[in-house]
Amino acid sequence: MSELLNLQFEFAFQASMIVPKAWELGLRAKLGECLRSNEQAEIHALGKVGRAELCRAIDESWPGLALAISDNVGSGIRRSQHLRALAIDIQLFERSTGSDLDEDAFGRWAYLSLSEPYAELGKWWKARHPKACWGGDFTQPDGGHFSFEWRGVR
């Protein structure tokens, strides 16, 4: 079995523990992107300005594609660990009393968009495995990003 495949198996196992840990911390979690296509990585790497230029170029021929690309708010690198199924994005929520928030059987929940609320979960994640990396430590923090390092990419 290849080194990458073994690491993907280990990552999948470890990543499955994130949601129960979030519950333990009093938070709730939704799963975001794990496996990213090469095409999506290229779109993310274009950035907002590049996506706008691409949309202008293709709008007349493929308006549906142009709309989907223009609505894409992701960012990232062409070498992302998402391309190798070694990263997952997690969206955390905390209980809130606000009236305009999503409500379910557990109450009202507010999305945590900043990296800081993910710090305890990030610290826990990094302690689980020697290759575990947390996006809150990146130059441009991404608190919801949990990955394994492979060949120098986090």
Q: Are residues 49 and 30 in the same domain?
A: no
Whether 101 has a pLDDT exceeding 60, the answer reads no
Mean pLDDT computed over 111-128: 96
How confident is the model over 52-61, as pLDDT tens digits? 787 778 877 7
**Residue where a domain stops, chosen among 16, 47, 79:** 79
Q: Are residues 67 and 100 in the same domain?
A: no
Whether 26 has a pLDDT exceeding 90, the answer reads yes
Identify the band that residue 124 occupies on the pLDDT scale cut at 50, 70 and 90: very high
Q: Which residue has the higher pLDDT, 62 or 112?
A: 112
Q: Are residues 19 and 61 in the same domain?
A: no
Q: Are residues 70 and 144 in the same domain?
A: no
**Residue where a domain stops, chosen among 79, 106, 139:** 79
Cα separation, 38 vs 134, in Å, equals 22
Q: Are residues 25 and 91 in the same domain?
A: yes
Q: Which residue has the higher pLDDT, 38 or 128?
A: 128
Whether 153 has a pLDDT exceeding 80, the answer reads yes
Whether 20 has a pLDDT exceeding 60, the answer reads yes
Q: Are residues 120 and 67 in the same domain?
A: no
Of 19-28, 80-89, 103-112, the poorest mean pLDDT is in 103-112
User: Whole domain around residue 59: which residue ranges?
Assistant: 37-79
Q: Are residues 87 and 70 in the same domain?
A: no
Q: Are residues 120 and 44 in the same domain?
A: no
State the total domains in the chain: 2
Q: Which residue has the higher pLDDT, 38 or 73?
A: 38
Q: What six digits make up the tokens of 28?
A: 């709730």
Whether 6 has a pLDDT exceeding 90, the answer reads yes
Q: Are residues 27 and 46 in the same domain?
A: no
**Residue where a domain stops, chosen among 24, 53, 79:** 79
Cα separation, 49 vs 55, in Å, equals 10
